[in-house]
Amino acid sequence: MSNVIKPLAAHPSNLKANGIPAIKRNFLFISRWGESLDIAYATLLGGNNVKLFVEEKSCREIGYGFVTKVLDWKKHVDWVDVIIFDYTGYGKVCAELRAAGKIVFGGSEYTDKLELDRNYGQDELKKHKVKTLPCKEFSNFQDAIKYVQENPDAFLIKPSGETQEFKQLLFVGTDDEGLDIIGF
């Protein structure tokens, strides 16, 4: 299998903005599940060179025929002008690429921590006097269920850390006793 799969059709490379020829750039999109395909494709249609890497193996068919796909994005770092990461967890890599002089759109180790460590994010909001709702973290679902049973109210569930990476759960309960949360 080839490491690079070319799109099916050629794209215009001589687009002009206000009569001025556009500068053609090399873009590399690094995606967890392929969510940035639409932006990558629009960037390609804008006359730029585009490559897309999809990390999740089960989602790698996303984008075939639209943009050039790569199986190892690190092999294309010397080629690229602009790198775009579309998900959390790449903060350290983004910092390294920026330090190497690359233009990078993506998070940082700080923003990764804000997103992936819910308690840390809540503490940062409070530190900057942003009003937050009461929040409690549990290490397992049984403890959370017990808490809801002992403190009936309407609740919101949003997993933190590794669980949110695999489940992508968010549930806003409306039952005043929390019964819809327990049944979720």
Q: What is the mean pLDDT of residues 6-11?
A: 51
Q: Domain 4-112: give its CATH code.
A: 3.40.50.720
Residues pairing with 49 in the sheet: 26
Gyration radius of the chain's alpha carbons:
21
Report pLDDT for 177: 76
Domain ranges of the chain: 4-112, 132-183
Q: What is the mean pLDDT of residues 141-158?
A: 85
Taking only the tens place, the pLDDT of each residue in 20-30 is 667 899 999 99
Residue 172 pLDDT > 80: no
| Residue 153 pLDDT class (50, 70, 90 cuts) | confident
Cα 177 from Cα 156, distance rounded (Å): 12
Q: Pick left, alpha or beta for residue 63 (phi over 0 → left; psi -120 to 50 → alpha; otherwise beta).
A: left
Residue 55 pLDDT > 50: yes
Q: What is the mean pLDDT of residues 118-126?
A: 90
Q: Is the pTM of this model over 0.85?
A: no
| Residue 140 pLDDT class (50, 70, 90 cuts) | confident
Report pLDDT for 10: 47
